[in-house]
Amino acid sequence: MDLAQPVGELKGIGPKTTEILKKYGIRTVRDFFYNLPRDYENFSAPISIADMRPGKVVIRGKIDRISTRRAKRRNLSITEGVICDGTGSVKVVWFNQSYRAKQFDPAREYYFMGSFELKNGRYSLISPSAALVSDIDPSVGLNPIYVAHGALKSNDFKRLINNSRDRFAQIPDLLPTVEPGKRKDALFNVHFPSSIESVQKSREYLAYEELFELILAAKLNRQENEKLKALPLKFKLDSIQDFLKVLPFALTGAQKRAAWDIFQDLEKDTPMNRLLQGDVGSGKTMVAALSAYQAIIDGAQVALLAPTAILATQHYEGLHKLLTQFGIKVILLTGATKHKVELKKDIADGRINFVIGTHALLTDDTEFKNLGLVIIDEQHRFGVEQRQKLALKSPRGLAPHLLAMTATPIPRSLQLTIFGDLDVSILNELPKGRRPITTHILQGIEVKSRLYPQIQETIKNGQQVYWVCKAIDDDARSETTSVKSRAAKLKTLFPKMNIEFLHGRMKPGEKDEIMARFSRGEIQILVSTTVIEVGVDVPNATLMIIENAESYGLAQLHQLRGRVGRGNKASACYLLTSDDMQPSRRLRELEKSTDGFHLAEVDLKLRGPGEIYGALQHGALDLRIATLSDTKLIHRAQNDVSNFLQAPENMLKYKELMQGITKYQQITTLN
């Protein structure tokens, strides 16, 4: 069977269903079979109603007297009924699931799984899931649950998959490295489970398959890159020494090592493809400056791209001052730049050595005369295709060297797989004199008693404060305080202070203006959404307050915290959370540690890679199953991929595999 054929070829999938599936990225038979259950309900051991105790229960019975009514509170519907099983009866309640009223046939038996609890003075079964007894293999009792896609609910997926049950036997093998038939058995078993253990085994195979594809894609990317030609850029010791002399500080050991890696890469005639990883404040910009300097004195142009105009501006302000001393022409090119046409002409003619801008610079019409090095801040990866395009633009067909920088620590297991095509340098050492940031979780009354005095103290000392909120505007349905109302509240609390707010929906010019004023110390408290997240450098800011801290990921909290502690003054970070919640493990870890790499590993364990790299899941790289903390499986896949590549004919032979990985090869942006 050809898995690449359209999903509409399957029994029972007509044009309407095809349309919906397409919206959710399910186009081919392969996509459909790989749309795996998110979970399984275990109905294998129902108890009788007479034996129910409060808590989670599974029962089996018929349902009767079911009806829906509207609650007084708007937008709430309540569906109620009675379940009987011969030993007794129990009231059942669903909220906002009015379709339940029509779901059941009073003559048939269903399983119900839900919470048996006291509600309005009476024990009821609350919002149980339900399945027809006759639909579930009694010897197994497992009910696969699929993620709903629009009008297609879990049960619809079950029905559709069931229609194709006999097609699974025809699924061809994908990989040469496992026993024949393993793939079809694994896919069958996750959709039609025979036991929890067998589901786990099957998922492990599918995870292996996925890792194999990821690693293969990364290795092929590396090979493609190595085929490109680049302009070698010479290392000149004297010039570098002159440069180091003007710096107000000595480089850290880690900065020297990273710079040395880069100098050597730049001298080669294949393009550098290096990721510079360093925690916030570790001094990545200086390493970038050194790299740019080497490229420019050897006659190349350099582009530095940041994710936002604010960050581009900051880079410009720091680097412009430093580099003009050496006669280097640096410009800033963002949406707000005036005289763009003239500047672009100067870039094309090679009169400008160093262009700093946003990522858009590479996709717009900017032409370079001799682009030798591209530095990308906070974007992990740069697709081969993009690079090839740049090479085509360049008069001699040369591809630029690439240095990507990130403050998001990438656990080693991720490095081996997703980032396998990059060389990595790590800045694991903070510049001397940095004082660690102290972190505290605050709840309830402590906000007034501890935080407000701390704000006053900070400002009295001439230092500045960030206050991060989740939302831009107020929303009646949620209890989170918005940027706007937080700023207003703080103004009444601290009438003498300069308080401003910043968020992503403001015009670029306005944002830059606010950031510039904050940098100059004219604003004391900056209330902001996470737009200040990456890279902003105001060493005089020493207090970071994060409201609704529980709603952010660990990596993001760590990034936000890194906005303070950038000078030689003591800094603090306060995590505010809802009063009625135990602080989560994530927040407690953050309180204990300021080591980004440690926190990344913890996060990987707590939440899985898809969550850390939130964008990955929504983007092209959707890890279905593989847990990247499974190093054993990763190593096995790595070995097997290496062997696979030893035999070049494999690439022709395993067509489906090779087609499948093109999506991984095209990824250009990971955040």
Under the binding rule (CB under 6 A), the answer on residue 79 touching ligand ADP is no
Calpha distance 263→290 (Å, rounded): 9
Which CB sits closer to Mg ion, 114 or 535? 535
Compute and round to an integer the Cα radius of gyration of the chain: 29
Question: CB burial class (10 A; 0-12, 13-18, 19+) of residue 633?
Answer: buried
CB 293 within 8 A of CB 243: yes
Do 376 and 359 touch, CB atoms closer than 8 A?
yes
Q: How far is the CB of 285 from ligand ADP (least distance, A)?
A: 3
Binding-site size for ligand ADP (CB under 6 A) equals 18
Q: How far is CA 534 from CA 281, 346, 360, 382, 641, in A?
A: 11, 30, 17, 19, 35
Nearer to Mg ion, 271 or 281 (CB): 281
**Nearer to ligand ADP by C-beta: 29 or 304?**
304
Q: Tally Cβ neighbours within 10 Å of residue 344.
A: 19
Measured from the CB atom, the residue of 255 and 353 that comes closer to ligand ADP is 255
Least distance from ligand ADP to the Cβ atom of residue 250, Å:
6
Stretch that binds Mg ion, among 103-111, 132-140, 338-346, 532-540 (CB under 5 A): 532-540
Which one of 93, 140, 286, 564 is in contact with ligand ADP (CB under 6 A)?
Answer: 286
Only segment of 9-17, 47-55, 249-257, 634-642 that touches ligand ADP (CB under 6 A): 249-257
541 contributes a contact to ligand ADP by CB under 6 A: no
Q: How far apart are CA 611 and CA 182, in angstroms?
A: 29
List the one residue out of 199, 194, 43, 51 whose CA is nearest residue 128.
Answer: 43
**CB-based contacts of 553: which residues, under 8 Å, 6+ apart?**
586, 603, 607, 611, 612, 614
Separation between Cα atoms, residue 518 and residue 633, nearest integer Å: 48
Alpha-carbon torsion 529, 533, 535, 538, what sign? positive
Please, what is the Cα angle at 220 between 219 and 222, to 5 degrees? 65
In angstroms, what is the minimal distance from the CB of 520 to ligand ADP?
15
Q: Which does 193 bind (CB under 5 to 8 A by kind): ligand ADP, Mg ion, none?
A: none
Query: Contact between 594 and ligand ADP (CB under 6 A)?
Result: no
Burial degree of 4 (CB within 10 A; 0-12, 13-18, 19+)? middle
Compute CA distances 114 → 110, 369, 403, 537, whole Å: 13, 67, 52, 50
- Is residue 141 near Mg ion by the rule CB under 5 A? no
For ligand ADP, which stretch binds (CB under 6 A), given 165-173, 282-290, 387-395, 491-499? 282-290
- Listed ranges 11-19, 121-129, 247-255, 356-364: which one lies at the site for ligand ADP (CB under 6 A): 247-255
> How far is 53 from 108, CA to CA, in rounded Å?
25
Point out which span in 122-130, 359-367, 465-473, 528-536 binds Mg ion (CB under 5 A).
Answer: 528-536
Contact between 431 and ligand ADP (CB under 6 A)?
yes
Does residue 535 touch Mg ion according to CB under 5 A?
A: yes
547 binds, among Mg ion, ligand ADP, none (CB under 5 to 8 A by kind): none
Shortest spacing between CB 550 and ligand ADP, in angstroms: 25
Q: Which stretch binds Mg ion (CB under 5 A): 343-351, 409-417, 533-541, 615-623?
A: 533-541
> Segment contacting ligand ADP (CB under 6 A): 33-41, 246-254, 338-346, 440-448?
246-254
Judged by beta carbon distances under 5 to 8 A according to partner kind, the member of ligand ADP, Mg ion, none in contact with residue 37 is none
Question: Rounded to an integer, what distance in angstroms lies between the CA atom of residue 290 and that of residue 296?
Answer: 10
Cβ at position 596, least distance to ligand ADP in Å: 10
Q: What does 217 interact with, of Mg ion, ligand ADP, none (CB < 5 to 8 A by kind)? A: none
> Which amino acid is it at 558?
H
**Is residue 307 within the footprint of Mg ion (CB under 5 A)?**
no
Which does residue 286 touch among Mg ion, ligand ADP, none (CB within 5 to 8 A, set by kind)? ligand ADP
- List the x/- string, 550-569, binding to ligand ADP by CB under 6 A: ----------------x---
Q: Quick one: which H or E segment has residue 372? A: strand 371-377
Instruction: Please report where in the chains the tokens 């950038």 appear, as a residue.
Output: 566
Closest CA to 541 of 470, 469, 462: 462
| Residue 251 interacting partner from Mg ion, ligand ADP, none (CB closer than 5 to 8 Å by kind) | ligand ADP
Give the tokens for residue 179: 């026993």
- Residue 231's nearest CA partner among 403, 112, 396, 77 is 396
Asked if 291 is part of the footprint of ligand ADP (rule: CB under 6 A), the reply reads no
Closest to ligand ADP by CB, 411 or 535: 535
User: Would you count residue 265 as binding ligand ADP (CB under 6 A)?
Assistant: no
Residues 368-407 that bind ligand ADP (CB under 6 A): 407
Q: Report, in Å, the least distance between residue 300 CB and ligand ADP.
A: 22
If one asks whether residue 572 binds ligand ADP (CB under 6 A), the answer comes out as: no
Q: Which does residue 312 touch among Mg ion, ligand ADP, none (CB within 5 to 8 A, set by kind)?
A: none
In angstroms, give the least distance from the CB of 276 to Mg ion: 10
Side-by-side strand order, sheet with 301-306: 330-333, 354-358, 301-306, 371-377, 401-406, 273-278, 423-427
Among 187, 233, 272, 280, binds ligand ADP (CB under 6 A): 280
Q: Of 76-84, 248-256, 343-351, 513-521, which part binds ligand ADP (CB under 6 A)?
A: 248-256
DSSP E strands in 483-570: the ranges are 499-502, 525-528, 541-546
* Interaction site with Mg ion (CB under 5 A): 535
* Interaction site with ligand ADP (CB under 6 A): 249, 251-252, 255, 278, 280-286, 407, 431, 535, 537, 539, 566
